Structure 1
């Protein structure tokens, strides 16, 4: 699977062009599946989910002009037959995975069976904030909100680095470079701090930073 891990969606031309290149076709010819699940574990999640799906958020994902768009709600999947949703996922060109709480998203990706399916897909996985962080081996104490049944900060580990999104965001005064440095000191592998104008592209394990903003790689 190809990963485009963003802090805040498709925020600039560099990230947009990278997405189109990864798709191998124009966005208008690509079929998208939107996954809002992570957002429900934070305050105002229901409203924020609607804003994400209808393109009213400030994190461009669903409003880019896809050929078709569906919604995959992970919490519903364990209660229905796999034949009702697995073929839909396999046919999608892109998965658009909303932000919110990364541990809640990780839990439901596992519970639903999507986590097991992801490595075999040909689709492009586009993450937004928590939707990106969930691909890391873990997220660090700084980002722990919702607590999974077994505790800890472990996520899916489909990439070998961690992410600190929304670096220096005006509405997130604690997301400073100094905070990112303290966070990275507690991580056990490579860790990226990225702002909202930055994304990380991963294909077959090869990592490339795409940015019109600022970012920093912390090596262990």
Structure 2
């Protein structure tokens, strides 16, 4: 790969209920002004993650599988492992769709996962999916009181975020090019194109693991 076209190897794992996840490979071009400077690459990566957040929304019945009571996910927690000092920079996003990020089981799971990230990033003996399942099994399954509202459903339309578009039974369609981002109607897709095209053109592949229905 020439220095004129240095790309970041970016892998995204976005987790849903019942051990389901999407594995997404993206290859964004690193800005020339950031190349060779890990701090600048990390800052660029952080900004890009905010731009792409709507593209990683999933799971209308977006729940973390923690017990008998499932709750709809409305917030997302990002963990990032990066190796931007390498000649071929790499990064991994671990995205967890949560009912809420406050003091509850979801929050405690992510706190535990945060503590494990250095081991995972450093080449620990277990893969990140096994780590997550082990953490979930170690927590209490007492029901949490998590208020609904405030944030849109994690599975609602990427553009309008209308509550009804994230409800069970509402049919969303995916972008025909990247096969990832979901919309409620062609109008929303058109309105979102100025933002989405930046993600759409860098998606290399999307793999659905333990998906409950056809993606």
Q: Which bin holds the TM-score, normalised by the shorter protein?
A: under 0.3
**TM-score, scaled relative to structure 2:** 0.27
**TM-score, scaled relative to structure 1:** 0.27
Larger Rg: 2
